[in-house]
Amino acid sequence: MIVVVASENPAKLLAVQQAFHAAFRIEAEMQGISVSSGVAEQPLSDEETFRGARNRAHNARRALPGADFWVGVEGGIEDTARGMDAFGWAYVCSPLRESHARSATFPLPPTVAQRIRAGSELGPIMDELFNKMESKKKGGAVGLLTNGLITRDALYAQPLIMALIPFLHPGLWAQTTG
């Protein structure tokens, strides 16, 4: 099984590897590729984050059409009446169908939210606050905020498994895409 991951980020690649291994009990061949998300570098809404994941999966499919699966993962934030939340979307395509799922949501500290509202990106803010480098390629903001209890790959692995439900039980889904 060949799985094209629409990212070269090690945390995203690990999440996809973990999810496919858990779901199919095989070691899939992972191929990371850098493709455009078609959204801002820091998606600022649930819808924009979803579009980024979907666009990544579709762009990976166009770039490397010979795979069995194409996967897009996009992390994003949304400012709500309750505060600023962070989360991710997973989008999975095969030649026969597409599926998606959203991760758990976690709160961002008010100081981080203020800096994001001023135009900064989450990753560099967290790196500065925690004196780290490229944390988004490792445990991510969630890893830093939970003291490593939940890492970025763990946060993304669960929605990836959820997005694989139609592929695990194809008889329950019509042969559709989109």
Tell me the pLDDT of the chain averaged across its residues.
Answer: 95
- Residue range 16-37, pLDDT digits in tens: 999 999 999 988 999 999 999 9
In angstroms, rounded to a whole number, what is the distance separating the alpha carbons of residues 70 and 67?
7
Beta carbons within 10 angstroms of residue 9's beta carbon: 22
List, for residues 148-172, the tens digit of each pLDDT value: 999 999 999 999 999 999 999 999 9
| DSSP 8-state code for residue 146 | T
Supply the pTM of this predicted model.
Answer: 0.93
Top pLDDT among 38 and 137 is at 38
Q: Does 2-107+149-172 carry CATH code 1.20.120.850?
A: no
The alpha carbon torsion through 90, 93, 94, 96 (nearest 10 deg) reads 120
Q: With 80 as the cut, is the pLDDT of residue 4 above it?
A: yes
- 3-class state of residue 128 by DSSP: helix
- Other residues' Cβ atoms within 10 Å of the Cβ of residue 94: 18
CA dist 89 and 78 (Å) reads: 13
Residue 125 and residue 111: Cα distance in Å, rounded?
10
Instruction: Give the residue extent of every domain in the chain.
Output: 2-107+149-172
| DSSP character at residue 136 | G
Spell 110-142 as b/e; 16+ CB within 10 A means b: eebbebbeeeeebbebbbebeeeeebbebbbbb
How far is 60 from 76, CA to CA, in rounded Å?
A: 20
Q: Give 19-74 as a DSSP string.
A: HHHHHHSS--EEEE-----SS-SS--SHHHHHHHHHHHHHHHHHH-TTSSEEEEEE
Give the residue-averaged pLDDT of 116-126: 94
